[in-house]
């Protein structure tokens, strides 16, 4: 699998895709969606779609695609090569969500959670298939969150397409299995030869599975924790594993949307809290006879007595 497009800039989201087979533009098609790398604290999350004509579903079964989790890495590689060879009737597309995209989405001011991120990646891929002229009639999805809600959301988004959302869809429908293999192979490759944008010298690549409960992953996280910057972009900062380590080992960083107790925060910002208007005594800070002119307060300028 050629990941060069992603590796050119692994800080952003990237789409990779196979050419669209001609039959898919003329015949009714089915499409499977699955994801790889949802749980790990390291590396990207990859969304994959696979599509083929409804009439060729049997051919797909003959390829013996199965749930990617039951396969060894070598078997997955093999199956992906087979899928890629079947380009006469099978097409695929991938959305690689870089760990940096995940971190910045989940930690931004208006939180964009992992489920929404996942749903939007899936929707984007289905839309991509439609835009390429694939005659979509059926879509099969392995669920993220409650299956019914997700199914309703997708059905509304794509009227005219029959959407089936099922838990464990990757073992029920071969087309979903195929999608899961594409996603998993892409993720394996991306993690294996991760190009670190940071200047870390020779990086110890023995980070284990990347899952939070893997002791290898944990010790790797500790080793590459910078007190000021935290981690390389390879790490999902929004994962609680990463955050807990940052809270205990790194320098505390305060943002203006950090949660704080209302009255304390107000006092620190020199605002009078609403509560103070209900008490008789005036807040202590206001004993100053004159207030600084608004020219200075509006510009956050103040005199200082020490440097």
Partner 1 sequence: MTTKKKRSAHTSNDSWVVIAADSALDKTKLDDGDPTFIRLRNPATGAASQYLFSRGDVRLYEVKAFVEDFHSWFIDQTVQRDGRLLYVTPMDPLFLLLPYLQSGAVEGKFQPLQQIVMDEDYPGCTRMLKCTQALDTLQHVADEKVVGSQKFHRYSQEKTMDWLKKKVLNTVSALKKSDISVGGGVKSTTYVRVKQETDVTEEDYLRYAHGLISEYISEDLSKDLHKHLQLPEISSPKEVEPPSKKRKLSDKPVEAGEDYTKFNSADFARKPPKKMTAAQKTLAKVDKTGMKSMSSFFSPKVKQEIK
- By CB under 8 A, which span of 20-28, 119-127, 200-208, 294-302 interacts with partner 1? 294-302
> What is the C-alpha to C-alpha distance for residues 10 and 13, in angstroms, rounded to an integer?
7
Identify the residue among 159, 215, 258, 279 touching partner 1 (CB under 8 A).
258
Strands (E), 11-130: 14-17, 29-36, 45-53, 91-97
- By CB under 8 A, which span of 7-15, 155-163, 180-188, 252-260 interacts with partner 1? 252-260
> What is the C-alpha to C-alpha distance for residues 147 and 167, in angstroms, rounded to an integer?
7
> What is the C-alpha to C-alpha distance for residues 139 and 54, in angstroms, rounded to an integer?
11
Mention every residue, 6+ apart, whose C-beta is less than 8 A from residue 250.
225, 226, 227, 228, 230
Is 142 annotated as a binding-site member?
Answer: yes
Closer CB to partner 1, residue 202 or residue 278?
Answer: 278
Q: Counting beta carbons within 10 angstroms of the beta carbon of residue 97, is it exposed (0 to 12), middle (13 to 18) or buried (19 or more)?
A: buried
What single DSSP character describes residue 277?
Answer: G
199 counts as binding partner 1 under rule CB under 8 A: no
274 counts as binding partner 1 under rule CB under 8 A: no
287 counts as binding partner 1 under rule CB under 8 A: no
Is 259 annotated as a binding-site member?
Answer: no
Q: How far is the CB of 247 from partner 1 (least distance, A)?
A: 5
Is 148 annotated as a binding-site member?
Answer: no
Site of interaction with partner 1 (CB under 8 A): 228, 240, 243, 247, 252, 254-256, 258-260, 268-269, 289-290, 292-296, 298-307
Residue ranges for the known binding site for a divalent metal cation are 34-35, 142
């Amino acid at each position: 699998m050629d990941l060069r497009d992603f590796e050119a800039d692994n800080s952003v989201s990237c789409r990779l895709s196979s050419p669209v087979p001609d039959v898919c533009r003329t015949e009714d098609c089915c499409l499977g969606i699955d994801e790889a790398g949802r749980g790990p604290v390291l590396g990207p999350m990859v969304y994959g779609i696979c599509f083929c004509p409804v009439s060729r579903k049997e051919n797909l079964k003959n390829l013996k695609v199965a749930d990617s989790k039951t396969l060894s890495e070598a078997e997955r590689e093999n199956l992906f090569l087979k899928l890629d060879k079947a380009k006469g009737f099978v097409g695929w597309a991938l959305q690689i969500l870089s760990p940096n995209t995940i971190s910045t989405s989940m930690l931004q001011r208006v939180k964009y959670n992992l489920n929404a991120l996942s749903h939007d990646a899936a929707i984007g891929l289905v839309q991509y298939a439609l835009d390429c002229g694939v005659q979509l009639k059926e879509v099969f999805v392995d669920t993220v969150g409650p299956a019914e809600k997700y199914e309703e959301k997708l059905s509304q988004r794509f009227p005219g397409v029959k959407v089936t959302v099922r838990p464990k869809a990757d073992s029920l429908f071969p087309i979903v299995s195929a999608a899961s293999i594409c996603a998993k192979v892409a993720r394996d490759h991306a993690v294996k030869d991760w190009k670190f944008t940071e200047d870390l010298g020779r990086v110890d690549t023995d980070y284990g599975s990347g899952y939070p409960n893997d002791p290898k992953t944990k010790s790797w996280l500790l080793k590459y924790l910078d007190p000021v910057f935290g981690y390389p972009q390879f790490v999902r900062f929004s994962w609680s594993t990463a955050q807990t380590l940052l809270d205990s080992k790194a320098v505390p960083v305060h943002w203006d949307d950090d949660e704080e107790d209302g009255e304390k925060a107000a006092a620190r910002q020199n605002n009078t809290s609403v509560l103070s208007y209900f008490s008789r005594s005036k807040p202590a800070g206001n004993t100053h006879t004159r207030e600084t002119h608004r020219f200075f307060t509006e510009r956050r300028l103040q005199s200082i007595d020490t440097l």
